Amino acid sequence: MEQLQTINDFLVEKFGPLGPLYAVGALGVVLIVLALPTMLKRRVDPLSRLKDSAGPSQSARAPKTDRRGTLRQGGHGDKLQRFASFLEPKTEEELSTARLKMMRAGYRSKNAVRSFHALQFALGILFLTLGAIYAFVTAATANTEVAPTQLMLYVLVPGAIGYYLPRYWVERRVQTRQQEIQNGFPDALDMILVCVEAGQSLDQGIIRVAKELKAAFPSLAEEFGIVSTEIKAGKDKPGVLRAFAERSGVPDVSSFVTVMIQSQTFGTSMAEALRVFAAEMRDKRVMRAEEKANKLPTKMTLGTMMFTVPPLLIILVGPSVYNMLQTFATMQVGTQ
């Protein structure tokens, strides 16, 4: 007890009243870092393998989950497999939604969802630790005590920023890719129309467009490349086109897929449908450009007022104010 009291007094003397709390937090971080390698190298219990082999009927009822309770199997080299129950959504619907968002952001690996949640957790802990270190260094340098409210701000705010930073990055990636696909889609339709009217099939036109648009619109070229690869693999063309519309998340692509499927179903001319739809997409692109141009004066109003009105007032009112100040100074000298 005397040793604990001595340690407590030493921490309070060095770091203030919150010194013991700092020590406990640092000890917890050290224990977590030391326990991670052991958890990564942990082997599967042989009894659990025996239970899995003894119950084939139960595994047949739930084929979408593995023995660790995850929603899908991971590769043998996946180090995040042991933390799948912690890093993955709990339901299959949530997992499908998360995977769709990651695909729309351009991350197509099987472990994209796990990596995303692992990055969220790691950045949250890292920023939280950096905030605690900053509070500790600030208090030690100024030789003052840190208020509990200020300590919470130093620790929790960076932790929240680190946790939500990957989500913000993914959202921005989704918006950027969708905007790129939307801007390049009318040109892609014109190229497909030229290929179809030249005697090529829709599949050959998509392959050619995927090659030609790689420099200008890489995201759209990548999506068309996936479509051509899936069609070559023998998948159903309507299903491939629907998957393309779902991955992109752009309404124009969904309309194009609907037109193509209806044209193939009812046997109408695909070239005529493409010509009408391509003209409509060009008109929509012009309308979007006009809409942005019409919004520009409203957006420039604030900047114009901030950077034009104050200099104008200085030029117009400045001389009068200067003359008034000179007059007042002369009057004060005269009265004295």
Q: What pLDDT, in 10s, does the model give residues 5-17?
A: 777 677 677 666 6
Residue 137's identity, in one-letter code, is V
Tokens 């037109």 sit at which residue? Answer: 259
Q: What token pair was written down for 309? A: 């009105």
Residue 1 has pLDDT above 50, yes or no: yes
* Residue 64 pLDDT: 46
The CA distance from 48 to 65, in Å, is: 15
Is 249 strand, coil or helix?
coil
Q: Which residue has better confidence, 123 or 332?
A: 123
Long-range contacts (CB closer than 8 Å, 24 or more residues apart) made by 252-259: 252/182, 252/185, 252/281, 252/284, 253/181, 253/185, 256/185, 256/189, 256/281
Question: Residue 231, class by beta-carbon neighbours within 10 Å (0-12 exposed, 13-18 middle, 19+ buried)?
Answer: middle
The CA distance from 22 to 17, in Å, is: 10
Least confident of 5-9, 106-110, 290-294: 5-9
Instruction: Assign 171 a pLDDT band (cuts: 50, 70, 90).
Output: very high
Residue 3 has pLDDT above 70, yes or no: no
The CA distance from 90 to 292, in Å, is: 42
Angle made by CA atoms 182, 184, 187, in degrees to the nearest 5: 125
The CA distance from 132 to 182, in Å, is: 44
Q: What token pair was written down for 235? A: 């998948």
Residue 181's identity, in one-letter code, is I
pLDDT digits (tens, 9 = 90+) for 247-279: 988 998 999 899 888 888 888 888 888 888 888
Q: Which residue has better confidence, 148 or 247?
A: 247
The CA distance from 214 to 252, in Å, is: 20
The CA distance from 217 to 184, in Å, is: 6
Q: Tell me, yes or no, if the pTM score tops 0.75.
A: no
- Mean of the per-residue pLDDT values of the chain: 79
Residue 77 has pLDDT above 50, yes or no: no
* Residue 83 pLDDT: 55
